[in-house]
């Protein structure tokens, strides 16, 4: 941790003692903390706090609270767990479980850099388990049965997390869109990362869960080819390619890509969202069948 971080980081927030700053985004700071209790009880946690310079902006506060309220409703083995939402010493705080592991993006980068075998089957297993978490969020209903209509909108390798004991967790529903959100996304701001964004996101159309299907398809493309889609391509060209529906199939870039995985990827990334998988469980089923047909059993 840098001297600057040590200087700016508070020693504690309420009952939580802070150990390190894990990151800082546009809206919030993220800290590693510990909750302490009687008889030497200690539990590592992650605390997400609204940046102090934004705490006076009612719209920003509402966006943060919308995220917190949504996160508090998500309870699934493949979604990061939120324990508590509150205000501590004038700070809005989201308290989440601490995960010991690495993001899929880090694993992919390191495995390629060090030439460590991270097989297609292993990568497909990560995606398949993540789809269970996404499907849960997509299907979540309020207590009265009203669908939340949650869309993650940033289902990228950075937000798929692999713990050291083999659990897969979907992270950061911070830009998720639910019909109950009271703060609208500011016009002209793209939420998500270009390589994983469907055409309707670029166009500003009404979006649904199928943008997450597209994003997972882009991850499958990366699994098939061994590099990120559109790597090194200028943003304007990415936009044109996606809008024109001329994304290359994985097999044209890597002839060794399994034909069935190529088909699954192309269906998930169809330009017309009506031609994509209708939901995450349908995509998950095809990936599970691919693993079965190729006798690629992957355990945790």
Contact by Cβ (8 Å): 158, 107: no
**Active site annotation includes 165:** no
Give dist(CA 183, CA 59) in Å, integer. 6
| 96/48 Cα distance (integer angstroms) | 8
Q: Quote the CA–CA distance of 270 and 244 in Å, as a whole number.
A: 11
In the DSSP assignment, the letter for residue 196 is: G
Q: Which of 154, 172, 212, 262 is catalytic?
A: 154
User: Cα–Cα distance between 256 and 241 in angstroms, integer?
Assistant: 24
Compute how many other C-beta atoms are within 10 angstroms of the C-beta atom of residue 149. 15
- Residue 80, Cβ density class (10 Å: 0-12 exposed, 13-18 middle, ≥19 buried): buried
Residue 182 · residue 62 · CB < 8 Å: yes
* Cβ neighbours, 10 Å, residue 261: 21
Residues taking part in catalysis: 154
């Amino acid at each position: 941790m840098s001297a600057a971080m040590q200087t700016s980081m508070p020693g504690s927030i309420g009952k939580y003692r802070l150990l390190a700053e894990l990151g800082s985004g546009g809206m919030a700071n993220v800290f590693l903390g510990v909750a302490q209790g009687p008889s030497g009880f200690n539990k590592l946690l992650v605390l997400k706090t609204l940046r102090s310079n934004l705490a006076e902006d009612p719209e920003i506060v509402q966006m943060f609270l919308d995220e917190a309220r949504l996160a508090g409703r998500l309870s699934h083995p493949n979604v990061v767990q939120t324990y508590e939402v509150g205000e501590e010493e004038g700070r809005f705080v989201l308290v989440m479980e601490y995960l010991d592991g690495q993001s899929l993006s880090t694993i992919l980068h390191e495995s390629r850099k060090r030439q460590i075998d991270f097989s297609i089957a292993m990568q497909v297993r990560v995606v398949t388990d993540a789809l269970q978490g996404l499907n849960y969020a997509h299907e979540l209903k309020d207590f009265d049965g009203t669908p939340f209509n949650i869309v993650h909108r940033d289902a990228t390798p950075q937000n798929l997390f692999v713990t050291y004991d083999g659990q897969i967790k979907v992270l950061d529903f911070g830009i998720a869109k639910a019909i109950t959100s009271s703060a609208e996304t500011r016009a002209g701001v793209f939420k998500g990362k270009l390589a994983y964004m469907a055409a309707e996101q670029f166009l500003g159309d009404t979006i649904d869960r199928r943008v997450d299907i597209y994003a997972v398809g882009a991850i499958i493309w990366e699994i098939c080819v061994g590099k990120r889609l559109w790597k090194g391509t200028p943003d304007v060209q990415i936009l044109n390619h996606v809008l024109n529906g001329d994304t290359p199939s994985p097999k044209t870039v890597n002839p060794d890509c399994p034909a069935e995985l190529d088909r699954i990827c192309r269906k998930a990334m169809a330009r017309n969202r009506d031609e994509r998988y209708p939901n995450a469980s349908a995509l998950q089923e095809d990936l599970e069948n691919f693993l079965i047909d190729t006798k690629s059993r992957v355990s945790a």
